[in-house]
Structure 1
Amino acid sequence: MKNTNVKWMYLLVLSVIWGSSFILIKKSLLGLTAYQLGALRSIITGIILLAFGYHTLKNISKSKWIWLIISGLLGSFIPSFFFAIAETEIDSAVASILNSLVPLNTILLGFAVFKITSTKRQVLGVIIGFIGTAILILKGSELNPNQNYLYAGYVIASTLMYAANVNIIKRYLQDVKPLAIAAGNYVFIILPAIIILLFTDFFTAERFSNPNFTNAMIYITVLSVLGTAIAKVIFFKLVQISTPVFASSVTYVMPIVALIWGVLDDEAFSLIQGLAAILILVGVYLVHKRKA
């Protein structure tokens, strides 16, 4: 199969998997706290990736390990907690749309930190995208006055971390196998995740007696296995066979998938928010579009 066809196939699969992750986070929070969710997601994912990818670690050169640690923190560990915290206050569909800022932030960080030049069209796309973000947040706070939309900041911060991560993978981990990157990330993530979980009330009788606990554990397991472990290996491979901006444009389709799940779960979503989401995607399109 041609490389072009493979990368588009990877992009579509990731869009569906990650687009469904937001509703899985929401459902998991019915029986778990945000910190328990973030910790369990890292622990379960780490166990799976290390079980299948531990043998690849011996092939990683010492110079790569510092970038694997940074990549793990920015691309997995911190966002797993931030998204869970954010969805305690904002709807899953809104979180997914805000996640569409990743390609825009990839351009900004690529220019500011990695000295990758940007075109005027890309700068325009960034501006349009952030206008859409502002409208989405403001209208969301009006439509859902009982939700604290300041928590959207956790999602925006995560998109900056994701953007930094794809640039790091492309620049410093290009020659490391995708499974080795994923397993290497979690070598350093799994221990602090276990420590955090121990400091929550996860192991109390009250937690296990929660009627939503069993379902929450099923949701977090699906999220960890499919939405994190398998998806990350696919994503790292996608970054390596394409570009950071193309890989991060997985956020084109993700909001559509997440919005469908949100509507099915009776989340409120206004026409103006829909227009704001379109603005964000137009911005992403301008950032990603090549010159004729």
Structure 2
Amino acid sequence: MTEQNRKWIYLFVLSIIWGTSYILIKKGLEGFTPIQLGSARIVIAGFFLFLIGYKSLKKISKEEWKWIALSGFIGSFFPMFLFAYAETEIDSSIAAILNSLVPLFTLFVGLFAFGISFSKNQLIGVLLGLIGAAFLIFFGKGVNPNQNYWYAGFVIIATICYACNANIIKSKLQNVTPMGIAVGNFAAIIIPAIIVLPFSGFFSIQVTSGEHFWSSLGYIIILCVIGTCIAKIMFNKLVQISSAVFSVSVTYLIPIVGIFWGILDGEKFTLSQFLAALLILVGVYLVNKKKTPRKTS
């Protein structure tokens, strides 16, 4: 299989996995608070990754460890809590759509942090994407007046974190294996999560005897093993065999999967929200579109 074909397969599989993650977070929140869910995700995923890939840590140099740790906190630790908090107030399908902003912010991070230039079309794409996000939040408030759409800001912060992480992996961690990056990330963030978990009340009788404890724990385990561990390794590999912007283009398909699960779970999704989501994706398309070279006569 060629590298070109492999990167498209990775993109498709990741879109299915991550598109499903938002409904799993929503179900996990039935039995846990955002702090409990986020810290449990990190601990469970961390132990699973150590079991299958602890040997990969030996190949990480001292110089690379600081970037591995930064990648772990920016690309995993903070987003896990941010998405959990966001979904206490907004629908899982809206969170999935707003995640499409990642390529737009990846472009900005690449410009300001790494000096990567962008075209006029890409700038228009960024503006369209941000306008689409604003419309999506505005229309969402009308459809779900009982929800606090300020919490959508948590998703936007998380997308900026993901954008930073994609650029870090591409520019600083090209010599580290995808497994090494994933295991190293969680080696850096698991200790804080282990400290937070018991203080969050995760093991209290009120939580463990709750109606949704076991079902929510099951959703979290699925989310950790497939949505965090396997997907993270695949994403790291995708970044290395493609570009940072292409790799985060997985967000083209994530909203489709997220909307499907949301509607199946009884969430409302209107035509106006669909059009706002479409505007975001058009913006993402323009950001990723390459210039067609002019023909010379």
CA shift for structure 1 position 153: 0.5
Q: Distance in 1 between matches of 2:175 and 2:231?
A: 19
Q: How many residue pairs end up in the alignment?
A: 292
Match of 1:121 in 2: 121
Task: Give the deviation of 1:282 after TM superposition.
Answer: 0.2
**TM-score computed with the length of structure 1 as normaliser:** 0.99
Equivalence for 1:27: 27
Which 4+ residue blocks in structure 1 deviate beyond 6 angstroms? none
1:73 and 1:173 mapped to 2: Cα distance?
A: 15
RMSD of aligned alpha carbons: 0.6
Q: Does 1:280 align with 2:272?
A: no
3-state SS of the aligned residue for 1:113? helix
Letter in 2 for 1:247: S
* 2:9 is aligned with 1:9: yes
Corresponding position of 1:166: 166
Residues 66-85 of structure 1: matches in 2 within 5 Å? 66-85=66-85
Post-superposition CA distance 1:64-96 (Å, at most 9, x none): 000001000000000000000000000000000
Structure 1: distance between partners of 2:52 and 2:89: 36
Mapped to 1, the partners of 2:219 and 2:116 lie a distance apart of 39
Tell me how far apart the structure 2 counterparts of residues 127 and 21 of structure 1 sit (CA, whole Å). Answer: 27
- Mapped to 1, the partners of 2:57 and 2:279 lie a distance apart of 42
2:221 is matched with 221
Shift of 1:270: 1.3
Q: Does 1:189 find its partner at 2:209?
A: no
CA distance in structure 2 between the partners assigned to 1:56 and 1:30 by the alignment:
36
Provide structure 2 residue ranges, at least 5 long, that are not aligned to the other structure.
293-297
Amino acid at match of 1:61: S
**1:4-34, CA deviations, whole angstroms, 9 ceiling, x for partnerless residues?**
0000000000000000000000000001111
5+ residue gaps, structure 1: none
Q: Identity percentage over the alignment?
A: 56
- Quote the Cα distance in structure 2 between the aligned partners of 1:253 and 1:236: 18
Alignment of 1:96-111 (within 5 A): 96-111=96-111
Question: Which digits, 9 at most, give the CA deviation of each residue in 1:173-215, with x for residues without a partner?
Answer: 0110000000000111111111111111111111111111110
Instruction: Give the Cα separation in 1 of the matches to 2:230 and 2:138.
Output: 35
